[in-house]
Chain A
Amino acid sequence: MTAAARALRPAQRIVLRHSALTRICHWINAIAFVALLMSGLQIFNAHPALNFGQTTDLAKPWLSLEPNGFPSWATLPEAQDLAAGRRWHFFFAWALALNGAVYLGDLILRGGFRRLWPSARDLSEIPRAIVDHARLRFPKGDAALSYNVLQKLAYLAAIAAFPVLVLAGLAMSPAMDAAFPWLVDLFGGRQSARAVHFLIASFLVAFVAVHLAMVVLSGPVNNVLSMVTGRYRIEEDDHEA
């Protein structure tokens, strides 16, 4: 490469973006989430309706996909098999909960929440951030080193959603309800907990959809490599160069 060509090429630098622990937790969480989602739809299909309160109102469900529920390609296993779906679900529920506890502990101990908590200035920039995202204009240079306000809000919401999802799942357990009666009261009843569990899972599906879209739109190779190796390539802003 000639000196002239090198000068034309935008300047780059490599930063260490994600710790090894964060990367391992991310991929365990990704695998567990897919298994839990698909086995969860299998379990939902055994009674494909939701309502709020302690008990089931069979005549007036709040939401009903009866009689068949979700299509078989979306469930794990594909064939209707509640027993096998429960095996998958509870195995990966343990994986997700333990992995999530390690991740949250690390985030709290190493001050990760400070990087995610939006400042007043961040919040005032929400309209501009929305316009930037809509135009697919992604930050370069130093701005790419920190999360923008929309990222902060989305990640905080997702991180907060997981503990509620787990608690709502536990509130459906008759043994857990006997050990901790407040657990089922927290959601206003066992069927409410079942509905909340489903709605939060739906929110997380939407989060993952947007997350994957942003990964693809803002440089998929760089993004995926940064979550595998930890190293993220930053293109310097022309004005700074």
Chain B
Amino acid sequence: MKRETKLTRRETLLKLIAGGGALSLSGCGLDARSLAALAVLGSAENLTRVVQRALLAPREALAREYRPEDISSYFRPNGSTAPDDPDYQDALAANFADWRLEVGGLVENPLKLSLADLRALPSRTQITRHDCVEGWSCIAQWRGARLASALAAARPKPEARFIAFFCADTLEQTLDGDGRYYETIDLVDAAHPQTILAYEMNGAPLPVEHGAPLRLRVERQLGYKMAKYVMRIEAIDSFAALGRGRGGFWEDRGYEWYAGI
């Protein structure tokens, strides 16, 4: 993905060949990837979020649900597909028998939930389309505990504004260790009936490449919001102190926090 430095000379040449005076932004002294430019352009994200939320709110709109025959025969796994983190490997070897989902942060009643506990919570089964930020889509059936039910049992404090999901997979090896996957959503999506902690996919226990034992489904946003290998959930009042402060692994690498489009 990072081939820009190697290409600089060739890019310059191609720019000249393209006669790209008009099209070449760097030729006008404007860097298309400068932080200032991206910050200005990023203001559109807030506009998109406010407008889409306004369109969705009056109807409490559900994402489209499909028929069993629409389920994709092959569902492309993305991101981590086999976390090699030792704790995860140990839990997987034990078939997650001793695994517990921690629910903590700004809650009155911190919880440790086994898979059996999660299965005992009110569940939802839904056949939905998964839209990757890269552009492709696949359909699968998901079954899981409603996030709202799990949170209700933990009793979030009034100051909680976001829900953070901390995962087992290290997607990027970094010196400061912030390559661990995490995500955050706000309380609007956390309360949505289709927002579930999925432990089944297409009627079988969630496969490793799709996030075993537990992944998040946030059906009205893009795939990178739907954290896999969820180990710990926290109610938080701000995500500024997490990772690089943008609210998620991919958000820290330039992607929008609100991924409704």
Binding site for B on A (CB under 8 A): 34, 38, 43-44, 46-47, 54-56, 58-59, 71-74, 76-84, 86-88, 90-91, 93-94, 170, 172-181, 184, 190-191, 194
B205, CB-defined interface residue at 8 Å: no
Give the distance to chain B from A168, nearest Cβ to Cβ, in Å: 13
Give the distance to chain B from A67, nearest Cβ to Cβ, in Å: 13
Give the distance to chain A from B139, nearest Cβ to Cβ, in Å: 5
A174 touches B221 (CB 8 A): yes
The complex places the Cα of A69 from the Cα of B253 at a distance, in Å, of 22
**A-chain residues with CB within 8 Å of residue B20 when the two chains form the complex:** 73
B171, CB-defined interface residue at 8 Å: no
- A75 closest partner in B (C-beta): B32
Segment from B43-51, B85-93, B228-236 that makes contact with A: B43-51
**A-chain residues with CB within 8 Å of residue B43 when the two chains form the complex:** 91
Binding site for A on B (CB under 8 A): 1-4, 7, 11, 14-15, 17-18, 20, 22-23, 25-26, 32-33, 38, 40-45, 47-48, 52, 55-56, 59, 61-64, 66, 70, 72, 74, 76, 129, 131-139, 219-222, 250, 253-256, 260-261
The complex places the Cα of A234 from the Cα of B47 at a distance, in Å, of 45
The complex places the Cα of A93 from the Cα of B44 at a distance, in Å, of 9
A87 touches B220 (CB 8 A): no
Q: Contacts A90-B44, A175-B260 known; A78 to B4 CB distance under 8 Å?
A: yes
Partner of B74 from the list A58, A173, A174, A181 (CB cut-off 8 Å) is A58
A78 touches B11 (CB 8 A): yes
A90 touches B220 (CB 8 A): no
A54 touches B66 (CB 8 A): yes
B14 touches A178 (CB 8 A): no
**A-chain residues with CB within 8 Å of residue B64 when the two chains form the complex:** 177-178, 181, 184
**A-chain residues with CB within 8 Å of residue B131 when the two chains form the complex:** 172, 174, 190
Q: Contacts A91-B43, A94-B44, A173-B261 known; A179 to B59 CB distance under 8 Å?
A: yes
- B76 closest partner in A (C-beta): A58
**B-chain residues with CB within 8 Å of residue A194 when the two chains form the complex:** 135
Q: Contacts A176-B55, A178-B219, A178-B220 known; A90 to B133 CB distance under 8 Å?
A: no
